[in-house]
Amino acid sequence: MTNTSMAAAGPAAADVLDYPMPRTVGCPFDPPPVLRELQAEAPITRVRLWDGSTPWLITRYDDQRALLAGPRISSDITHPHFPNTSPGFNERRRQARTFISMDDPEHARLRRMVTASFAIKRVEALRQAIQKIVDALIDDLLAGPKPADLVKAFALPVPSLVICELLGVPYADHGFFQANSKVLIKRDTPLDEALAAQQRLLGYLDRLVGDKLASPGDDLLSQVAGRVKTGDLSRHDAAAMGQLLLVAGHETTANMIALGTLTLLQHPRQLAILREADDPKVIAGAVEELLRYLTIVHNGRRRVALEDIEIGGQVIRAGDGVILANDIGNRDPAAFGDPDRLDIGRDARRHVTFGFGVHQCLGQNLARVELQVVYGTLYRRIPTLRLAADLGQVPFKHDGLVYGVYELPVTW
């Protein structure tokens, strides 16, 4: 490992870079280029966050997997040195703590309460219902005015309808939960606004848990409520888990639908291959490649070291913050050849878009089926789909916890 000035920089050094970095204007699909430089020259280096703290930034794919796979780093959000994404972030998560902010064994105990619903066979069984949702929304889109905003008309409704069905949340309330989710997923939302939005969501989920306790249905929130009845889960924790599933269940996939569509529209040859493919494996492969290429969790996965860790010629001390920049990890030339090229024909399945280790995304297989149905249907049903604005006018979620577009004006 070369010991460059950046790699050797201590917390007080003037050349410690601020994180996250901005993307290059005109390159909205690529990670900030400075991450590529760090990956090549200082793959384990300190960066400075908004609060002045200087956690370690891990940019290489192999290092990210090695760290995420083991118990040496912690997801415990109550740790005083846990890298804070924004003024409101850690506090908000502490007040509605779920298994994503905990370590084993409590993490595993809580997560296993909901894993059955996300097993391969269970999400495959939803494929036809998802297809019907997608078909109906495309019918409505085609019958409506153009240009249309693909986010509002399609990208948000698809996963919202699916997670509502799975959880047993009334879709009629989508205006309420989407509006409050939108507050939570902006990186720079002030603490009081974030907490207020979270309180509204928690109150809503608490009422639903109460309903499910009184008259359980055949849905996931009823199962979670059942754990309250058996004493395995507090009512507050049940509402927090419901909130996590509802917000994570629609926001992330919605961003992949809209941003993935925009990406394909900018890569017409790749889009043509996808549109003309008869083999479901081609569509599934395109989903994995777009997940890799876009890596919408673009503020890094955050952890804190539980012990001294020697890695890549550096020593991360117990108690140091650690950030895994999976967006650049998925563009590591040591893991993926020609990594900045979108190639839906490559085998991208080992990407770290959903993370790695025990915290790997619970909903990943549901997201896969949703995206396979969407990418396999939308461009065939609307072969003339095109952007109804200049790329430069599209509002990207640079300030989002998860990357995407706020709106996507399209016509056909």
Partner 1 sequence: MKVTVDQDKCISSGQCVLAVPDVFDQREEDGIVVLLNPSPPTGLAEDVKQAAARCPARAITVED
Query: In this structure, are residues 219 and 164 in contact, taking their beta carbons and an 8 Å threshold?
Result: no
Q: What are the Cα distances from residue 81, in Å, to 85, 90, 122, 323?
A: 12, 11, 38, 12
Task: Give the three-state DSSP class for 178.
Answer: helix
Q: How far is the CB of 329 from partner 1 (least distance, A)?
A: 14
Tally of CA atoms within 13 A in the half-sphere of 52 that contains its CB: 1
Considering only the stretches 84-92, 120-128, 259-267, 394-402, report the one whose residues sit in contact with partner 1 under the rule CB under 8 A.
Answer: 120-128
Question: Does 112 participate in binding partner 1 (rule CB under 8 A)?
Answer: yes
What's the DSSP call for residue 338?
A: S
Query: In this structure, are residues 394 and 102 in contact, taking their beta carbons and an 8 Å threshold?
Result: no
Instruction: Please tell me the distance from the alpha carbon of residue 92 to that of residue 405, in angstroms, as a whole number.
Output: 24
Q: Which of residues 54-73 bind partner 1 (CB under 8 A)?
A: 68-69
Among 219, 89, 233, smallest CA distance to 163 is for: 219
Residue 251: how many other CB atoms lie within 10 Å: 24
Q: Which is nearer to partner 1, 320 or 332 (CB)?
A: 332
Considering only the stretches 105-113, 214-222, 273-281, 327-335, report the one whose residues sit in contact with partner 1 under the rule CB under 8 A.
Answer: 105-113
Phi then psi for residue 305, to 5 deg, are -75, 135
Question: Does 357 participate in binding partner 1 (rule CB under 8 A)?
Answer: yes
Question: Does 116 participate in binding partner 1 (rule CB under 8 A)?
Answer: yes
Question: Does 234 participate in binding partner 1 (rule CB under 8 A)?
Answer: no
Q: How far is the CB of 359 from partner 1 (least distance, A)?
A: 8
Return the residue of 360, 380, 386, 391 that touches partner 1, per CB under 8 A: 360
Q: How far is the CB of 93 from partner 1 (least distance, A)?
A: 20
Query: In this structure, are residues 241 and 356 in contact, taking their beta carbons and an 8 Å threshold?
Result: no
Question: Does 356 participate in binding partner 1 (rule CB under 8 A)?
Answer: yes
Instruction: Please tell me the distance from the alpha carbon of residue 284 to that of residue 86, in angstroms, as a whole number.
Output: 35
Considering only the stretches 82-90, 116-124, 289-297, 377-385, report the one whose residues sit in contact with partner 1 under the rule CB under 8 A.
Answer: 116-124
Q: How far is the CB of 360 from partner 1 (least distance, A)?
A: 4
Question: Does 121 participate in binding partner 1 (rule CB under 8 A)?
Answer: yes
Q: How far is the CB of 131 from partner 1 (least distance, A)?
A: 19
Return the residue of 118, 154, 293, 336 that touches partner 1, per CB under 8 A: 118
Q: How far is the CB of 211 from partner 1 (least distance, A)?
A: 25
Q: How far is the CB of 368 from partner 1 (least distance, A)?
A: 8
Task: Give the three-state DSSP class for 97.
Answer: coil
Return the residue of 111, 250, 303, 346 that touches partner 1, per CB under 8 A: 111
Task: Give the three-state DSSP class for 80.
Answer: coil
- 187 Ramachandran zone, left/alpha/beta (phi>0; psi -120 to 50): alpha
Phi then psi for residue 314, to 5 deg, are -115, 160
Q: Which is nearer to partner 1, 121 or 269 (CB)?
A: 121
Considering only the stretches 41-49, 268-276, 299-307, 357-365, report the one whose residues sit in contact with partner 1 under the rule CB under 8 A.
Answer: 357-365
Question: Does 334 participate in binding partner 1 (rule CB under 8 A)?
Answer: no
Considering only the stretches 32-40, 117-125, 336-344, 389-397, report the one whose residues sit in contact with partner 1 under the rule CB under 8 A.
Answer: 117-125
Considering only the stretches 4-12, 119-127, 320-328, 386-394, report the one whose residues sit in contact with partner 1 under the rule CB under 8 A.
Answer: 119-127
To which residue do tokens 């994180």 refer? 19
Burial pattern 325-338, b for ≥16 Cβ within 10 A else e, equals bbbbbbbbeebbee
Phi then psi for residue 376, to 5 deg, are -85, -10
- Residues interacting with partner 1, by CB under 8 A? 68-69, 108, 111-112, 115-116, 118-122, 349-350, 355-358, 360, 364-365
